[in-house]
Structure 1
Amino acid sequence: MLNRKDQRLRRSRQTRARIALQNVARLMVFRSNTHIYASVVSDCGSKVLASASTVEKEMRTQLGAAGKGANTEAAALIGKRIAERAKAAGIEKVAFDRSGFAYHGRVKALAEAAREAGLQF
């Protein structure tokens, strides 16, 4: 019997196998109970091209108290920020890798903010 973490990791492996066939950079998202992280990884999967998270010092000051990184507003800020950094690195098109998390709440807010800021996926 798989626990919740193993189920999520199983879903993420399936997604990554499909994304690997597309030969595009992937926007990878991880969410914890207190923070959200986003990275743009090269199509060969070995190099991080851009990253953003609610752990960064300037983001923490922008969000206020230390525990404010776990809401949809923070996720939207990270989505906008990762899109800006990806475009600065010369990446316009990515595949969205939600790492097995449901496309709901913070993950959805991050994705929609990245799309509005100009990333295509």
Structure 2
Amino acid sequence: MGLSTSERRLRIRRRIRKVSFGTATKPRLSVFRSNKEIYAQLIDDNKGVSLAAASSRDKELAKAKGTKSEIANLVGKAIAEKGKKIGIETVAFDRGGCLYHGRVKSLAEGAREAGLKF
């Protein structure tokens, strides 16, 4: 009997978190994707705090029109701009168990376009 989708994703998520660790100088860019929205956070795992966050539900981005992938690209650019304001240049990417495809890939490309280095 195979794993369900949620069990498979949880297993992948745990495997990624073993190697992906964020510090104050190089935080972890954590991505959460739901069916409708997408969220991104810059996390310092040493202190256990979120340094910056952006989502498709933010006031500026909620008005944006386009496909889910286009909005994810805008979220990536927004999190990169917030990171640059607090002096963050490089991050460790945590895709949260999702495949690096579609909206997750679009968010990562938007963050790279805005100047974050993975």
**Higher mean C-alpha displacement, 89-98 vs 22-31:** 22-31
Mapped partners of 1:46, 1:16: distance in 2:
14
The equivalences for 1:31-46 within 5 A come to 31-44=33-46, 46=48
Give the C-alpha shift of residue 3 in structure 1: 1.5
Give the C-alpha shift of residue 89 in structure 1: 1.4
Give the match for residue 80 of structure 1. 77
Gaps of 5+ in 2: none
Gaps of 5+ in 1: none
Write out the 4+ residue segments of structure 1 that deviate beyond 3 Å after TM superposition. Answer: none
The equivalences for 1:63-102 within 5 A come to 63=65, 71-102=68-99
Percent identity between matched residues is 50
Q: CA RMSD in A?
A: 1.7
Q: Under a length normalisation based on structure 2, what TM-score does the superposition of the two structures give? A: 0.89
**Cα deviation 1:2-41 (Å, max 9, x = unaligned):** 3211211111111111013x75311000111100000010
The equivalences for 1:101-116 within 5 A come to 101-116=98-113
Q: Under a length normalisation based on structure 1, what TM-score does the superposition of the two structures give? A: 0.87
Give the C-alpha shift of residue 57 in structure 1: 2.2
**Cα deviation 1:25-83 (Å, max 9, x = unaligned):** 110001111000000101426110010001112211233xxxx6x61100000000000
- Contact preservation (8 Å) 2:64, 2:71: no
Mapped partners of 2:40, 2:96: distance in 1:
11
- Contact preservation (8 Å) 2:29, 2:92: yes
Report SS of the residue matched to 1:49. strand
Q: Which amino acid in 1 is paired with 2:97?
A: G
Give the match for residue 57 of structure 1. 59
